[in-house]
Structure 1
Amino acid sequence: MNNLFTELENQNKQIPLAELLRPKTLEEFLGQSNVISQNSPILNLLRTNRLFSMIFWGTPGCGKTTLARLIATKTNANFIEISAVTSGVKDIKDAVENAKASLRTGSKTILFIDEIHRYSKTQQDALLPHLENGTLFLIGSTTENPSFQVVPALLSRVQVVRLNSIDDDSMNKIIKKGFAYLAKNYLPMDCESGAIDFIINLARGDARYALNVVENAYFASDLKDNRRNLTVKIIEEICQKRNTRYSQQEHYDCASAFQKSLRGSDPDAAIYYLAKMIAAGEDPRFIARRLITCAAEDVGNADPNALNVAINAYKAVELLGLPEGRIPLAQAVIYVARAKKSNETVMAIDMALADIEAGNDFPPPMHLRDAHYKDAKNYGFGVGYIYSHNAPKEYQQFLPDELVGKKYTK
């Protein structure tokens, strides 16, 4: 018996703390009150033992896999878990056969696909008939925006559930639970004031990452009088540098916030988003292209030099690369953000394009047409044209007859 307990204890020592402390009930599940609050749609359905197919979209470590497992437990469903990284159509077919066998015994099946955005269109399409006929229910998890990564046919058959990053209060409870588990099962510990807040700041809403830090820092901490002494310094040494979280969605979000900060004349916000994109490994030429767009679209002729500054920043980045390229980029960002703004240029060209696309595609007046070739004047081309430099005050019609008086510019 002792050998059995020893074996189980040794097995637990090999299991990561984040896995050991994974919530076993919905009541233990923290940080997603918007999804599993008292009157939330998901909880109401679970109370009636009903299921529907879902895709959980959220940042790493926010509880997507855990929630899928808890839903399966709550509904007594057969739970099949695969990863899109290591599986394919054959695995989907195997899951379908398993689900059909469960149906014959009256059991529902949930197929959980982690990182479903990694599946190709063909692999995603393989799920469609089985969702359609009710053979199984799908719960997919993704860190990427499903609108970009999941095929429309599959999206139309599921509900997308947005999971938030774990809030600081919930993260505090999770970290304390981790330390309590380690102190109970290994050695008691003392924790320096500020250590938990430091981990919360490092984790940025990722509970799995936070518990990995807790575990590693605990076993790396100093041992004195049979007690662990955990300090902020130990955590800093263990973690070194936290990678910037930057999914494809965040790529778009950050670029959008960057351009809107430039447009809104907030140089501090624009510099912050510039730094965020650089730290995440964004191609600096992509950033410079956004800057050029803003200089033309949002500054325009209110300060024509802004476009020169932005283009020169692009050239400087190509010459220097990073890290030196960050400096001319920052210089240009501050200039464009502080420049006077006018959207006259983009409004004018878009209004004119809209007219043409709407069918208002008219030829130029006869006197403006090309008359450089022989016999052109015989057709009336160029007849009556006034050379503007010779008669700057002389009125001359330039727009087509049908658009006389039309204003595209302010």
Structure 2
Amino acid sequence: MRPRRFEEFVGQSRLLADGSAFRRTVASGRLPSMVFWGPPGCGKTSLARMLAHSSNAHYVALSAVMANLAEVRAVLGAARERFQLGERTLLFVDEVHRFNKAQQDAFLPAIEAGHITFIGATTENPSFELNSALLSRCRVFVLDALAPADLVRALEQALQDSERGLGAAGLALNAEQLQWIADAADGDVRRALSLLEVVADLAGSGVVENDILRQALADRVRRFDKGGEAFYDQISALHKSVRNSNPDAALYWIARMFDGGCDPSYLARRLLRMAIEDIGLADPSAIERAVAAWETFDRLGSPEGDLALASLALYLAMAPKSNAAYVAFKAAQQHVVATGSLPVPLALRNAPTKLMRDLGYGKQYQYDPDVTGGIAYDQECFPDELGEQVFYRPTEQGIEARIAEKLAQIRAGRTQALASKRSKKKPA
């Protein structure tokens, strides 16, 4: 059922619309090298085949999963020979992101010389997975997952086509049943047609009963590529929903990731990071709750322990938010890089030996519990070359509001005490 003409192609209405950049490129008759980026089963391979047919080019397909560098060089050598005879070659490389740097570099001379029109297909972000040299020589076209209505149309075509589809089987499905299959396919036309074929095998011919359809659609899995683009998009959505204090969205995204087979330990680690980075000292107990939820999952496992992580996501979403500690730490790190290895003030240095004490290590150090009020305000803790610095700026959220009040008093007392101390050091 692979489409042979653009009129048969299902989906990608944005890409294939009249006047679109892609259609203008095809109509020009001079195909550039391209990269098709989109989820599985959205039509990347079919588009490449149709482009080769419409341009009268010799079509060669490679799979980066199977091919090695020797095979790539053999294909490029044959393309060079065809080019010398006046014949063009359209080379389609499926899963091109699986090729390593050396394999991707092998295409560059052939593209530069015009021996091939290169079309790569990838489910991963080309910006991260393709060499910049190869990417700079290609136009990137983004394909979308198919909408349910597009999948229904593809199923109807397969049921009506007697030559390549199931038209001869006399299979009858109603609109609701076709919608069930489309929903189960989750944007993947290849999966939709495979499910239809399973239905045909179970039903034989005639009207399909709902029980047969439920059997065919049992244990379906939604689109989720562990470690791939969809994976990181979903964990990003979960993190940002928690940060946005939207518990319902947080619950939806963690449910999506559980449904897709995400490692719960990974989710526990990311939720702990959210407690540290986005909640911080506004609710210090969030870290304890995150660790407890992780330990609970480790004790219970799935599916019982899943609820502990889901409950944690709800708690974190509703907790007061502050990234003040995160920002302060980053600022301190940048300051360290900028100022280098400044010496520790003598008063703060450890003095375990007589030599160190004779050199002034620990001299004039004030032990804060022995000072009235418990804080030696005039004790300088930064290197002498820096003076006092301010990195941590607490917010007014949650417990951090009380921290902000106390810290303001401490900083005011320290500023006054240090100013008085320095004024006494000035020569008369």
TM over 0.5: yes
Match of 1:233 among 176, 199, 211: 211
Deviation, structure 1 residue 243: 1.8
CA contact (8 A) 2:281 2:325 kept: yes
CA distance, structure 1, for counterparts of residue 381 and residue 35 of structure 2: 57
Deviation, structure 1 residue 111: 0.7
Match of 1:398 among 381, 403, 406: 381
Deviation, structure 1 residue 189: 4.9
| Structure 1 segments unaligned to the other structure (5+ residues) | 1-20
Deviates more, 1:51-60 or 1:89-98: 89-98
- In the alignment, which residue of structure 2 is the partner of 1:208? 190
| 1:357 maps to 2:342 | no
CA contact (8 A) 2:158 2:166 kept: no
Counting only pairs closer than 5 Å after superposition, residues 209-288 of structure 1 correspond to structure 2 as 209-221=191-203, 228-247=206-225, 248-288=228-268
- In the alignment, which residue of structure 1 is the partner of 2:181? 199
CA contact (8 A) 2:181 2:217 kept: no
CA distance, structure 2, for counterparts of residue 93 and residue 361 of structure 1: 53
Q: Give the direction of change, closer, same or farther, for the CA distance of 1:184–1:147 in structure 2 (3 Å limit).
A: closer
Match of 2:322 among 338, 342, 346: 342
| 1:95 maps to 2:90 | no
Q: Deviations over 1:370-410 (max 9, x none)?
A: 23321334333322222211223542222233443421112
- In the alignment, which residue of structure 2 is the partner of 1:31? 11
Which letter maps to 2:383? P
What's the TM-score, normalizing by structure 2? 0.83
Matched position secondary structure for 1:80: strand
CA distance, structure 2, for counterparts of residue 294 and residue 207 of structure 1: 37
CA distance, structure 2, for counterparts of residue 241 and residue 260 of structure 1: 30
CA contact (8 A) 1:57 1:144 kept: yes
Counting only pairs closer than 5 Å after superposition, residues 9-408 of structure 1 correspond to structure 2 as 21-181=1-161, 185-186=167-168, 188-221=170-203, 228-247=206-225, 248-359=228-339, 361-391=341-371, 392=374, 394-396=376-378, 397-408=380-391
Deviates more, 1:104-113 or 1:154-163: 154-163
CA distance, structure 2, for counterparts of residue 57 and residue 184 of structure 1: 30
CA contact (8 A) 1:195 1:231 kept: no
CA distance, structure 2, for counterparts of residue 229 and residue 132 of structure 1: 56
Deviation, structure 1 residue 50: 0.7
| Structure 2 segments unaligned to the other structure (5+ residues) | 394-428
CA contact (8 A) 1:254 1:277 kept: yes
CA distance, structure 2, for counterparts of residue 131 and residue 184 of structure 1: 41
- In the alignment, which residue of structure 1 is the partner of 2:392? 409
Deviation, structure 1 residue 187: 5.0
CA distance, structure 1, for counterparts of residue 78 and residue 54 of structure 2: 20
Deviation, structure 1 residue 200: 1.6
CA distance, structure 2, for counterparts of residue 215 and residue 367 of structure 1: 80
What's the TM-score, normalizing by structure 1? 0.87
CA distance, structure 2, for counterparts of residue 235 and residue 181 of structure 1: 21
Q: Deviations over 1:28-84 (max 9, x none)?
A: 323112322222222222222112112211111100000001111121111111222
Matched position secondary structure for 2:355: coil
Q: Deviations over 1:222-257 (max 9, x none)?
A: 75xxxx112443221112121232121112112211
CA distance, structure 1, for counterparts of residue 244 and residue 167 of structure 2: 54
Deviates more, 1:144-153 or 1:193-202: 144-153
- In the alignment, which residue of structure 1 is the partner of 2:406? none
CA distance, structure 2, for counterparts of residue 321 and residue 122 of structure 1: 42
RMSD, matched Cα: 2.2
Matched position secondary structure for 1:147: helix
Which letter maps to 2:8? E
CA distance, structure 2, for counterparts of residue 361 and residue 265 of structure 1: 41
CA distance, structure 1, for counterparts of residue 149 and residue 217 of structure 2: 22
CA distance, structure 2, for counterparts of residue 193 and residue 75 of structure 1: 38
CA distance, structure 1, for counterparts of residue 384 and residue 19 of structure 2: 64
Q: Deviations over 1:177-223 (max 9, x none)?
A: 22222598425454334112211211111111112222332453375
CA distance, structure 2, for counterparts of residue 82 and residue 360 of structure 1: 52
CA distance, structure 1, for counterparts of residue 10 and residue 222 of structure 2: 24
Matched position secondary structure for 2:354: coil
Q: Deviations over 1:3-27 (max 9, x none)?
A: xxxxxxxxxxxxxxxxxx2222223
CA contact (8 A) 1:192 1:232 kept: no
Deviates more, 1:304-313 or 1:146-155: 146-155
CA distance, structure 1, for counterparts of residue 119 and residue 155 of structure 2: 28
